Amino acid sequence: MPLFQKAVFHTTIADLRDLPADSLCEVAFAGRSNAGKSSAINTLANHSRLAFVSKTPGRTQHLNYFRLAEGKYFVDLPGYGFAKAPEEVRGQWEGLLAPYLQQRMVLCGLILIMDSRHPLTELDRQMLNWFAPTGKPIHVLLSKADKLTRQEQLLSLREVRAALRTLGENCSAQLFSSLKKTGITDAEAVLASWLGMERRLEVPPPTGLRSEKTARPKQRAAMGWGARKASGAGKRST
């Protein structure tokens, strides 16, 4: 079962004074508008509509909290870089987003979503350079990797990892596809370590062993043959 299968929507925050008081550990999801942020959250939670996926970029205007376990949350941040958003709305986003990322003590890491076809845009670099000095880890999901060839995927990943190395050891990156469900295991490993959640690894059943149901009939058959042999020997002796 996926690690975050039990994730549920908890609350929407428009004012930092309303942040959940019971929170012990949070992971924030950020990314340029239409980079696939909500789809990534849905994929990790194995839920088609946990986070709202809009055809209109910039729809998320508040902090959306999803409860994973007691005191542990995913936080879907407003998409950045949506030029068509009204100036007053963009100002509200900045007034909410910046203080949250800089001052939220229980924030344990940032998942940054980049479109693997167009990574490291100016806004992506601004977010990296702005958040990295907090010292908290950053993990980049290069989304929509299914739209690239294998060679293109590796080139994109290499470029992003090279850029992250200049920011310190707390930054990492991987390929991810919500459509093909690839990269989930790697992302879960990172998130589990940040959140202090234990991953349940599925152990496949042993191979080459007969099940109890198939073994019993053969055992009965063997006993029947032994009984018949003994019976036949008795008849010959008489």
The answer to whether the beta carbons of residues 140 and 160 sit under 8 Å apart is: yes
Tell me, what's the pLDDT at 72?
Answer: 97
Tell me, what's the pLDDT at 211?
Answer: 47
The answer to whether the beta carbons of residues 41 and 67 sit under 8 Å apart is: no
Buried b (16+ CB within 10 A) or exposed e, 55-80: eebbbbbbbbbbbbeeebbbbbbbbb
Q: Rounded to the nearest 10 degrees, how much is the dihedral formed by the CA atoms of 125, 153, 32, 102?
A: -50
* Domains of the chain from N-terminus onward: 8-195 (3.40.50.300)
Tell me, what's the pLDDT at 62?
Answer: 84
Q: Running along the chain, 238 residues long, what does each successive block of 10 average in pLDDT?
A: 86 93 96 89 88 52 91 91 61 79 95 97 90 96 98 98 95 97 96 89 57 50 52 53
The answer to whether the beta carbons of residues 194 and 25 sit under 8 Å apart is: yes
DSSP helix/strand/coil, 66:
strand
Element (H, E) at 115: strand 107-115
The full length of the chain comes to 238
Q: Which residue has the tokens 């100036």?
A: 87
Quote the Cα angle for 26-29-31, to 5°.
160
- Report d(CA 102, CA 204) in Å as an integer: 44
Residues 6 or more apart in contact with residue 11 via CB below 8 angstroms: 18, 20, 64, 65
Tell me, what's the pLDDT at 235?
Answer: 53
Tell me, what's the pLDDT at 228?
Answer: 53
Per-residue pLDDT reduced to its tens digit, 66-107 = 999 999 999 999 887 654 566 766 666 677 888 899 899 999
